[in-house]
Amino acid sequence: MMQLWMNRLRSMGVWLAMLAGIVGVTLLLMVFAGYFHTKVDAKPSTRLRPAPAGAKYVVVTEITQPRYESAIGAIKPVHEANVASKILARVLEVNVTAGKKVTVGEILVKLSDDEQRSRVQQAEANRDSMVAELQLAKSEVARSKQLMASKSISQAEFDTATTRVQTTQANADRANRAVEEAKVYLDFATVVAPFSGIIVDKSVQPGDTVSPGQTLVSLYDPTRMQLVANVRESLAMKLQVGQQLPARMESLGYECLATVSEVVPKADVSSRSFEVKVTGPCPPGVYSGMFGRLMLPLEDEHLLLIPAETIQRVGQLTFVQVLTEGGLARRSVQVGRDFKDQVEILTGLKAGEQVLIPSSVAKGVAP
């Protein structure tokens, strides 16, 4: 029986200890929350204070400024090209590396041209043969005219000689075009820059065998760059080609007015946005793929601004001293964005009210 009572007392002791711990934690949280301290009233104070002598005040000003929404985009070249091979050949030389500046007509890659040179020689030999046949046919026509005058040959024989000249002339012309075509294929063995620009990458090395259509070198024109941004549907429909918009490159600290050059008439299904391309002056150090922002105009916004030094803070609350007819009244305000040495006031003040500058109050004078 005694053992049973001892067990009950021990169990009650455990429960009492747990209850005491819960009560202790609750009291500690109430202390940390400031439950036992006097709270600062966030409402505008109705008690007025006398305005100190010599104090300075500022007027709450209202300004109107344009409001923008940013669209994220990337820098891309207006003119870029992947230079490809037009023949099946072996790579002999690669004269460029990534990042190198090239001028129009500069040799980028040399391919083996043995087969192309052989074709040129064959075409030239065939042309020479056609030219010789044409000269012979013309000589026969000249003799046929003399014989025809003396009626030594018939009209049919003369017509045959004339037709042979025309046929041989056509074959000679065809042979000349074959020579020109063979020389064009010979020129394909020397790959040159189609325009002045910067090499992005090279895809082949000496000794590689390339086929027609295979990319050899990629390059772009750094003097003609554009910002390509995805703009939501409601704003993209208001843009027009030729319109000027602010654009920013935050990594370079650069901002300029860019001109809308193109609004792609196709929306992305997932984001319901349109691709907008703008061009503008390019600062030094701009490369393809860099981050940029396109600023799209919205309706103008009205802001109330006061100097930052007029703001007083008590805990997490912000106050200002407002000058009224009866004196100074402390008023709670909600601040917004910073504008250099001024702050935006969201609630608590009206345009035209005067706010005390605390630093202008003489020492010893209560604000």
- pLDDT confidence of 132, banded at 50, 70, 90? confident
User: What was the pLDDT predicted at 262?
Assistant: 93
For residues 15-37, average pLDDT? 72
* Per-residue DSSP letter, 359: G
Model confidence at 43: pLDDT above 80: no
Q: Which of 95, 297, 57, 322 is nearest to 191 (CA)?
A: 95
Cβ atoms of 200 and 218 within 8 Å: the answer is: yes
Give the pLDDT of residue 85.
93
Return the pLDDT at 361: 64
- What is the model's pLDDT at position 4? 60
pLDDT score of 23 more than 80: no
Given a cut of 90, is residue 229 above it in pLDDT? yes
Q: Write the pLDDT tens digit of every residue in 328-355.
A: 888 999 999 888 888 999 998 989 999 9
Q: Is 236 exposed, middle or buried (0-12, 13-18, 19+ CB in 10 A)?
A: buried
Per-residue pLDDT at 37 exceeds 70: no
pLDDT of residue 102 exceeding 90, the answer is yes
Angle formed at CA 135 by CA 153 and CA 120, multiple of 5 degrees: 145
Domains and CATH numbers, the chain: 57-65+301-360 (2.40.420.20), 70-78+222-297 (2.40.30.170), 114-187 (1.10.287.470)
User: pLDDT of 296-330, one tens digit each?
Assistant: 988 888 899 999 899 988 888 899 999 888 888 88
How far, in Å, CA of 332 to CA of 349, rounded? Answer: 9
Distance CA 356, CA 329 (A): 10
pTM: 0.59
Question: Span 244-262, mean pLDDT?
Answer: 90
Measured CA distances, 11 to 4, 24, 170 (Å)? 11, 20, 121
